[in-house]
Amino acid sequence: MDVKQRYIREAGYDVAEDFIETLQELDIRTGIKIAKFIEENIDKVAENKLVSTVLGGVVIDDDNEPITFALEMIKTPDHCTVGNSIILSDIKMIPMDDYLDLLNLNIKSNEDRKNKSNKKSG
């Protein structure tokens, strides 16, 4: 486990114990798909040193079934931390309805951010 943690830290992530425990309960291929999802979507999460962000995700397992989850993370600006700038604090498997609620919240918050930036520049 020490080698895995060193690799994760070198990649710029710090991982909480709850996150690791949940991933260990999953099929290894599903865990890899979730890790790939995180890599592909980490840039969509805004930096915030004060609060965590919950990101909804979905991957398709080997039985062609959707696996929906909520990922809690903290992404701080590099200059605010010593070492890691991304903390993967928790991950929970959630029902599809909760995943869709998270998508709707994300769309609404993105629209609010765009509206605020348009008001400042206009």
Sequence spans of domains, the chain? 2-121
77 three-state secondary structure:
coil
Find residue 14's DSSP bridge partners. 87
* DSSP secondary structure, 21-73, as one string: HHHHTS-HHHHHHHHHHHHHHGGGSPP-SSS-EEEEEEEE-TTS-EEEEEEEE
Pick the range with the lowest mean pLDDT from 6-10, 93-97, 102-106: 6-10
The amino acid that residue 30 corresponds to is: T
Task: Give me the percent of the chain exceeding a pLDDT of 70.
Answer: 73
pTM: 0.74
For the stretch 48-103, pLDDT in tens is 777 888 989 999 999 999 999 999 998 877 655 454 578 899 999 999 999 999 88
